[in-house]
Amino acid sequence: MIIETKGLKKTFETRKRRKTTTVDAVKGVDLSVEAGAIFGFLGPNGAGKTTTLRMLATLIQSSGGEAKINGFDLRTQQDEVRKTIGYVAQGGSTWDEVSAREELVLQARLYGIGKADALVRAEKALAAFELTEYADRNCKTYSGGQRRRVDIALGVVHDPKVLFLDEPTTGLDPAKREDM
């Protein structure tokens, strides 16, 4: 299995009027996802989907349970997990003052990819997400859908073994949603 969880949970402490309350955001998720599978979380707002993805992507620590991504323990081998995953957050993450090409090359370089290979990967990602025409303009000039495609390209430019997408089609027009 490429993703395995047993009893994964997350609780948060909240304070209202000097009273601390514990909120169970995720109440014991059990998953087994095979390599190559496409797996989706469905549920209403506030059901814990984003919190679960953030735990699996090592952005927040679980309150309990266990999980392995690519055979690496989520609690004790976070660096190894991070090297093999891609994560595309629900909200946009492009920088206004740089181009998609610059962002993609930087992202690849952050994963230890050499400059020449990073340039090749960026070009492939730009073509795959139909961004070549805008590749060298600052991201602040992009539409919301174009920025979302850059976000997703950033998540895959380093060729991760597991890709976590949180609301990947938000902001895309119907044709681009179908392409996705």
Identify the pLDDT of residue 155: 94
Q: Which of 76, 77, 25 is nearest to 53 (CA)?
A: 25
Q: Which of 147, 126, 80 is nearest to 118 (CA)?
A: 126
- H/E stretch holding 105 reads helix 100-110
Residues of the chain short of pLDDT 70, as ranges, are: 180
Cα 91 to the chain's mean position, in Å?
Answer: 10
Identify the pLDDT of residue 38: 92
Identify the pLDDT of residue 160: 96
Residue 85 near residue 72, CB atoms below 8 Å = no
Identify the pLDDT of residue 80: 96
